[in-house]
Amino acid sequence: LLPVPARAPPQAPFRFSPRRLRCPREHELLEDGDIHRHLYLQDILVSVTQVTEKPKVSEFSCHIAGCCQVFDTLEGYEHHYNTLHRNVCSFCKRSFPSGHLLDIHILEWHDSLFQIMAEKQSMYQCLVQGCVEKFKSSKDRKDHLVTVHLYPSDFRFDRPKKAKSSTKHSKSPLLQNASMPVDIKTFEQPQVDSMEISPVENMENASQPLSSLISLPPEKHLNRSRIPSTICFGQGAARGFKSMRKKI
Amino acid sequence: MRVLIGLFTSSLADVQMEAAHCLHELSHSSDPAVAEACLPATSYLLTYLSGHSIEFTELCLYTLGNLVVESEAVRKQLLPQGIISALASCIQSPHEAVLEGLGYVLSQLLQAKEASIEIIPLVLDSALPQHMLQLVCSNLELGMGVAVEFAWCLHYVVCSCVNNALLISQGIMSTLVLLLLELASMVSKAVADGLELLICPVLRCLSNLLAEEMEGCNMQVQDERLLVALFTFMQYFLNHHLFIVQECLWLLNNLTADEPFFCSAMLTLDLIPALLQLLPCSRMVALLVLTVLCNIAEKGCAYCQQLHQKAVLSSLISILTLSDAEVAGQCLELLHLLFLHWPEAAADFFTQAGLQALEQHQHHPELQERVRALMNLATQPTAASPCSLVSSAAVPSSLP
């Protein structure tokens, strides 16, 4: 290292003094690089929008017992599997979008110890990851989700356990239920009464005979579905009967 | 929207995917009212981030990213809905496409005007920074998309100066220096396209971190190979991406301003000619080159002697003749420092017709005082430089 004498202030009229430069976001030195970044992003966004043709394979069906959906792309199968079969409750076969929601469901619906403890302490945990709040009831939890986390009041993955809400769903599913979001899928999934997504579960809450649902003309179902409704709903139907018998 | 959200939360996977594409299309709108119309979908978009379908998760991420850009109302809702925690979970995904999408969302969030108050503190509080530091070095040979996104994320965090001490304690300086060294070796092998998109934000992070002047930062960058890397980048990108040259010089300024380590290294590695070659590139580049040379000259006579030996003067005379006032002004500062510490340079300057170069600026209001101060030296006898009294053993006389 070369020797350095002590730093002296600049001699007038000269004013230079070495200084580290800080550039905040809007500094002019950063402009050109920012433009380049912006152009790069435009390219990326275009390529994400373009739906690339996925390679097709010969048709195959889902391996899960009772599910007869068929596929001709691996991605299609992957998404189906993840949506319906991956996070499935082994007790009631309802499926969930994530392991987190499945775990909460099992705890709150199928764990008798939970029920006992819930009488004495706040056991209903907030659904938002990172929030540690717990509540005495699922209604209190829902109020928290709505007021603190700005969740919609009809959040599909936070329905109270059906014993409390069975009276709400005695109407025909084909009529628009004011408390339900209006959606096309009520044709084949009349009601979503609980904290999951499954074509199966709504059977359990229908108070009208199953046959009236199956008698829906097939073209009302979305064309892409190749599940013959009698078969895939069959598994649910059997349980639907069972739970209808269990209903208080 | 209610219909669309109903389809989006359908259990029919392909319906759900198509609905996701619809939402994604909507998110492209530049009308903030459209982004706000998508507000009811956000809790579901976040819920689905913990799913496992790569394409679906990717779509949700890009949709969120687009919505975040357009609307403060959307950001105001996403934060209490837990977007930061959702991203901190999702970042553990092994899938490149998901990580790249996540980096994109985060980079948009971090650029929001309220980011330094509302968003960056939450991000720094989460596990995200450590993951970002890992991902910024990842997968460089196979595809840099992920690294690029997280490098820009780090840049937005660092330049906001919310808590750079935290990042420094997590090892950001050495991580980024090693990354630059690796990128330089890729550049010299001409291995990857688009490297400038990754190099740029990394340079910015290091420069801004150095500008914080925190304890111990200087030691973490003192690696001569960093200089070689910077010059490799500047040479490679000179003709196509001049902004890289600018930003390398900014870092070089911050490296040479205070510590003599890099000033010495510039001389021993014989990088002065390469630096001088950059002078004609652009006005901004010329200013930065001259500033770096001033940093070196300011360190004293041993440095000025070597600069003189490197034929700095002839470049200065050319640039002085051609330039605008600001560049000329910086030239004058450099000449002053050279003459101050190494008067032999002054004598040499005037024999090279430096006086004529000075004269053309002598009436400019910004420059005239300094020009006259220098012109006066032409008439004075050369004083003995304090430096020449130092034993020559202290000054390396031969260069590699």
The shortest C-alpha distance from B235 to chain A (Å) reads 17
Q: Is residue B301 part of a domain?
A: yes
Query: What integer pLDDT is reported at residue B383 of this predicted model?
Result: 60
A22·B211 Cβ contact <8 A: yes
Which domain covers residue B300, as residue numbers? 223-379
Cα B23 from Cα B17, distance rounded (Å): 10
pLDDT digits (tens, 9 = 90+) for B356-387: 999 999 999 999 999 999 998 877 765 655 56
Going from the C-alpha of B147 to that of each of B208, B231, B320, B379, the distances in angstroms are: 19, 22, 42, 59
Query: What integer pLDDT is reported at residue A233 of this predicted model?
Result: 31
**Tokens found for residue B287:** 């200013």
Asked if the C-beta of A176 comes within 8 angstroms of chain B's C-beta atoms, the answer is no
Residues 229-248 of A with CB under 8 A from B: none
A150·B81 Cβ contact <8 A: yes
A2·B21 Cβ contact <8 A: no
Please, which residues have CB within 8 angstroms of residue B56's CB and are 6 or more apart in sequence?
A: A79, A82, B16, B17, B20, B48
Q: Is residue B147 part of a domain?
A: no
Q: What letter would DSSP give residue A186?
A: G
Going from the C-alpha of B55 to that of each of A82, B308, B347, the distances in angstroms are: 12, 61, 70
pLDDT digits (tens, 9 = 90+) for B37-55: 999 999 999 999 998 899 9
State the helix-helix crossing angle for B260-268 and B242-256, rounded to 10 degrees.
120
**Tokens found for residue A118:** 């819930």
Query: What integer pLDDT is reported at residue A163 of this predicted model?
Result: 55
Q: Give me the percent of chain A exceeding a pLDDT of 90.
A: 35
Q: Is A1's pLDDT higher than 80?
A: no
Q: What letter would DSSP give residue A34?
A: H
From the list B255, B318, B330, the residue with the least C-alpha distance to B285 is B330
Residues 131-160 of A with CB under 8 A from B: 131, 148-152, 155-157
Asked if the C-beta of B80 comes within 8 angstroms of chain A's C-beta atoms, the answer is yes
CA angle B157, A44, B123 (to 5 degrees): 20
Please, which residues have CB within 8 angstroms of residue B4's CB and are 6 or more apart in sequence?
A: B19, B22, B23, B41
Q: What letter would DSSP give residue A88?
A: B
Per the CB < 8 A criterion, the answer to whether B82 and B46 are in contact is yes
Query: What integer pLDDT is reported at residue B400 of this predicted model?
Result: 43
B77·A150 Cβ contact <8 A: yes
Q: Is residue B355 part of a domain?
A: yes
CA angle A39, A41, A47 (to 5 degrees): 110
Q: Is residue B212 part of a domain?
A: no
Which residue of chain B has the CA closest to A79? B53
Query: What integer pLDDT is reported at residue B83 of this predicted model?
Result: 97
Alpha helices in A81-203 (DSSP H): 99-110, 112-120, 138-147, 162-165
Q: Is residue B292 part of a domain?
A: yes
Torsion of CA A62, A64, A66, A72, to 10 degrees: 0
Answer with the residue of higher pLDDT: A7 or A209: A7
Cα A157 from Cα A240, distance rounded (Å): 20
In three-state form (DSSP H/G/I as H, E/B as E, the rest C), the secondary structure along chain B is CHHHHHHHCCCCHHHHHHHHHHHHHHHCCCCHHHHHHCHHHHHHHHHHHHCCCHHHHHHHHHHHHHHHHHCHHHHHHHCCCCHHHHHHHHCCCCCHHHHHHHHHHHHHHHCCCCHHHHHHHHHHHCCHHHHHHHHCCCCCCCCCHHHHHHHHHHHHHHHHCCCHHHHHHCCHHHHHHHHHHHHHHHHHCCCCCCCHHHHHHHHHHHHHHHHCCCCCHHHHHCCHHHHHHHHHHHHHHCCCCHHHHHHHHHHHHHHHCCCHHHHHHHHHCCCHHHHHHCCCCCHHHHHHHHHHHHHHHCCCHHHHHHHHHCCHHHHHHHHHHHCCHHHHHHHHHHHHHHHHHCHHHHHHHHHCCHHHHHHCCCCCCCCHHHHHHHHHHCCCCCCCCHHHHCCHHHCCCCCC
User: A135 φ, ψ to 5°?
Assistant: -135, 160
Residue in B16, B50, B390 closest to A83 by CB: B16
B-chain residues within 8 Å CB-CB of A82?
Answer: 13, 51-53, 56
From the list A179, A150, A157, the residue with the least C-alpha distance to A167 is A179
Q: Give me the percent of chain B exceeding a pLDDT of 90.
A: 81
pLDDT digits (tens, 9 = 90+) for A237-248: 222 222 222 223
pLDDT band at B283 (very low <50, low <70, confident <90, very high): very high
Residue in A14, A82, A129 closest to B89 by CB: A129
B-chain residues within 8 Å CB-CB of A11?
Answer: 336, 340
Other beta carbons within 10 angstroms of residue B317's beta carbon come to 18
Residue in A4, A32, A198 closest to B260 by CB: A4
Burial class (CB in 10 A: 0-12, 13-18, 19+), A32: middle
Asked if the C-beta of A55 comes within 8 angstroms of chain B's C-beta atoms, the answer is no
Name the 3-class secondary structure at A141. helix
Other beta carbons within 10 angstroms of residue A224's beta carbon come to 12
Q: Is B144's pLDDT higher than 50?
A: yes
| CATH code: domain of residue B339 | 1.25.10.10
Query: What integer pLDDT is reported at residue A51 of this predicted model?
Result: 65
Residue in B244, B254, B294 closest to A21 by CB: B254
The shortest C-alpha distance from A230 to chain B (Å) reads 16
pLDDT digits (tens, 9 = 90+) for B301-352: 999 999 999 999 999 999 998 878 999 999 999 999 999 999 999 999 999 8
Residue in B52, B294, B340 closest to A82 by CB: B52
The shortest C-alpha distance from A210 to chain B (Å) reads 20
Residues 79-98 of A with CB under 8 A from B: 79-80, 82-84, 86, 95, 97-98
Q: Is residue B115 part of a domain?
A: no
What's at A67, amino acid-wise?
C
Complex ipTM value:
0.90
Residue in A18, A148, A149 closest to B257 by CB: A18
Residue with tokens 């999702």: B90
Q: Is residue B318 part of a domain?
A: yes
Cα A64 from Cα B142, distance rounded (Å): 35
pLDDT band at A40 (very low <50, low <70, confident <90, very high): very high
Q: What is the pTM of this model?
A: 0.82
Cα B308 from Cα B75, distance rounded (Å): 57
pLDDT digits (tens, 9 = 90+) for B1-47: 999 999 999 988 889 999 999 999 999 888 889 999 999 999 999 99
pLDDT digits (tens, 9 = 90+) for A166-179: 444 433 333 333 33
How many domains, chain B?
A: 1
Interface A–B counts its CB contacts (< 8 A) at: 229
Q: Is residue B277 part of a domain?
A: yes
pLDDT digits (tens, 9 = 90+) for B75-97: 999 999 999 999 999 999 999 99
